[in-house]
Structure 1
Amino acid sequence: MEIVIDIDAEEPLFAQLMAEIKRAVSAGGINPGDALPSIRQLANDLNLNNKTVAKAYQLLERDKVIITKGYRGTFVHPDARKNMDFDLNAWVAGQINQTINACREKGATDSEIRIAFANIMQNKPTAGE
């Protein structure tokens, strides 16, 4: 598996790493069940910070593209190719967009929406609770 990371690109390094692993899975360069390098090994190979690789692995595991089996290592998920079709970020953006549009239809201002969103994200009570 060849991974190319461009440190000068605008895209974050962890996102580039995720895309490269997904590309390798899609192209058949790595297959379901194949072992991936450890976080430390991959970070050393690519001259990246361990935390960058760990973040990419964590998000790939969340998306069920890879699976970590404790001390046995990290592997390509059995359903990796199928699971790569779902874009969680696009889904979240779509959900938020629908909610914002509904709020605007009821007459809420952008400022009111931002304040409510910030309060909810910080688990602060909102009016009416």
Structure 2
Amino acid sequence: MEIVINIDDPTPVFTQLMEQIKTAVANNHLPEGTPLPSIRQLANDLEVNSKTVAKAYKLLERDNIIQSRGYRGSFVHPDAKSHCHIDLSQWTTEMLTDCIATLRAKGVTDSEIRVAFGSLMNSKF
């Protein structure tokens, strides 16, 4: 599998990386159990910051596309193919859009929404 990063693309590099890995899994180019390059190796190969690759790997692990096996590395998750089409970012945006629409319908101002959101994001659940 070849990953190509377009630095002129407005899509963040970590998102480009995630999308290409998800596409490769969905198209059977990365079958279950396939080892992935180390964060450092992939960052060097793509000439990007290792923190960018680490962020992509962390989010792919959250989405059950890859799994980390400690010092042995990262591998394609056994259930990866069934999770490739789940987009938590899109789902989050949809949920927040619905919530904001409900609040506005009740007369809550944008400023009040921002203050409440900021307060909740800074609190510990």
Shorter-chain TM band: over 0.9
Partner of 1:127: none
Give the distance between the partners of 1:79 and 1:106, measured in 2 at CA. 42
Q: TM-score, normalised by structure 2?
A: 0.93
Question: What are structure 2's unaligned runs of at least 5 residues?
Answer: none
Number of residue pairs matched by the alignment: 124
Partner of 1:41: 41
Partner of 2:77: 77
Q: Which of structures 1 and 2 has the larger relative contact order (alpha carbons within 8 angstroms, sep 6+)?
A: 2
Partner of 1:65: 65
Q: TM-score, normalised by structure 1?
A: 0.90
Q: Which has the larger radius of gyration?
A: 1
Output the aligned Cα RMSD. 1.3
Question: What are structure 1's unaligned runs of at least 5 residues?
Answer: 125-129
Give the distance between the partners of 1:111 and 1:47, measured in 2 at CA. 41
Give the distance between the partners of 1:2 and 1:28, measured in 2 at CA. 14
Any idea what the Cα deviations from partners look like across 1:16-67, whole Å, max 9, x if unmatched? 1111111111121110111001111111111111111111100100101000
Q: Determine helix, strand or coil for the equivalent of 1:61.
A: helix
